[in-house]
Amino acid sequence: MSESRKRILVVGGGAAGPKAASRARRLDPKADIKILEAGKSVSYAACGMPYYVSGAIRTSKQLVMRTADYFKQRLDIDVLLETAALSIDRSAGTVHCRDSEGREFPLPYDALVLATGARPFVPPLEGRDLNGVFKLKDIPDMLAIADYIKKEEPRRAAIIGAGLIGLEMAEAFKARGMSVTVVEMLDWPLPALLDEEMASMVTRALDGQGVRLLLSQRAQRFEGTQGGRVKRLITDSEAIDCDIALVSIGVRPETSLATEAGLQIGATRAIAVNEFLQTSDPAIYAGGDCVECKHLVTGKPVFVPLGSTANKQGRVIGTNVAGGRDTFPGIIGTAIAKVFDLAVARTGLTEREAAQAGFKVVSSIVSPTDVAEYYPGVSQVTLKLVADAENGRVLGAQCIGKAEVARRIDVVATAISCGMDVKALSSLDLAYAPPFSPSMDAVHDAANVVRNKMDGTAKTVSAQQLKKKMNGHPDLLMLDVRTNTEWRLSRIEHPNVQHTPMRDLALSGAEFCDGKEVVAFCDSSIRAYLAQKMLERKGCKDVKFLDGSLIVWPYKLYEPKE
């Protein structure tokens, strides 16, 4: 009697499903492995879709990492394209399917993998079905957008949502020669990634690229031409003319198959799984954008759909359906995006998230050079570090710049995963040579500023705190210690502001204080911190500096005209 082959059935051909199938094949050469995919493509790089629309990626085939033929010929895995999973019969161990010709049939499984992904959330806006209104979920969506641009030659684009996809598509539409308006319901761009002051750098970058960003506004409806083509987006306060529109306000986990099968759905409305990525039915595993994960900082379930997570989970699932006992510990939400010439990244918790989670928070914002300051091609990188004020444990970071942002955020991600505190982070033995980094990296600087705050050496106020103090606080003195040239280009225009360059401050006495609360600021806090210490030496008692200073000042600056 021949030994029976284990039947492994995977539903979903995006990232987690094919990864699980491939890993299972490597561990079990005899298993009967099938992948069901409702679409026409399997194992495609969804994160690359905006770059196809922009023209940076020339052909859609570049985004299809593996074909159905590849899986069959190289791995002996059957991929059933245009085949939908309709329902799961857990007692019988079968999935009821329907193919492209409408034929329905059951497929048996010994181990079932749900990798059903997520679907874009499209609110019930009037006019959302007009020609030229799109979402971006998969290859067909991408091709439809590209085809529309080619045929209709739109000149004005409107985007609802200033998240990752929204801003990547803003760049794509600009690359296609369009004017772009982005509408965001919340108060700053990338609200799920960044704190307000860090997001101000993104706001300025978008403005510099000619992207119009409308914040704190809700989209109400689309209006169209008589021919059924979109012509206008109506918000709370204005009408935005557009020839093409994208709705990009987030995704929801695709859980209908799991829900109808009676599997447990978690607090985040995604599928609940254990450390082995098993659902509430031990024979059914789930991974990728349809599941919730444990956050390694808070220990609570979160829904953070990322391709990187999906691939790692796929490997764990593939190991386990082939008889192993691998585990997936959780995530810290590390992410990075390209916003024109800026790299924007985060890991762990933002300051706002950390406070909401119950931590007593201390943070720092530094803006040193990315390489030695004397080396050709030097640029600036801005890093915000978030830590637990009670023990210095690293909780999160955000980093923005034009070079080497990923390296810095990955260092902090590693520190968080290892439970490091700011003292350990400030002492990390990182690589140094002038063409690659400064002798003290941004990570070291940020950790040391937090340490200085914790021991009372550095005293700061945040931009939000200072903004509140500026309203009716006569004993507040805001000391701008930048050079005359910097001051003439842009400044905070307010009666409480006094411009005194550092060289003049060094020659002065303690007359600045005179019973006032002094807040020094510059472009990036380096000189402002020096000013704080200088005034303290002169006898001033209540001196602070603006954390991050003007590089992350989220409010409008006065820019004198020539």
Catalytic residues: 47
CA angle 431, 433, 434 (to 5 degrees): 140
Residue 307 phi/psi, 5-degree rounding, is -60, -35
Question: What is the maximum alpha-carbon separation in the chain?
Answer: 97
Residues whose CB is less than 8 angstroms from the CB of residue 82 and which lie 6 or more positions away in sequence, other chains included: 37, 38, 39, 40, 99, 100
Distance CA 114, CA 13 (A): 10
Q: Is 332 left (phi over 0), alpha (psi -120 to 50) or beta?
A: alpha
Provide the pairing of β-strand 111-114 with 7-11. Answer: parallel
Burial level of 301, CB count in 10 A (0-12/13-18/19+)? Answer: middle
Q: Which of 268, 251, 262, 276 is nearest to 116 (CA)?
A: 251
Distance CA 122, CA 137 (A): 11
| Cβ atoms of 96 and 106 closer than 8 Å | yes
Distance CA 477, CA 515 (A): 10
Give SS3 for 142: helix
Q: Which two tokens stand for residue 410?
A: 């990955």
Distance CA 274, CA 317 (A): 11
| Cβ atoms of 255 and 234 closer than 8 Å | no
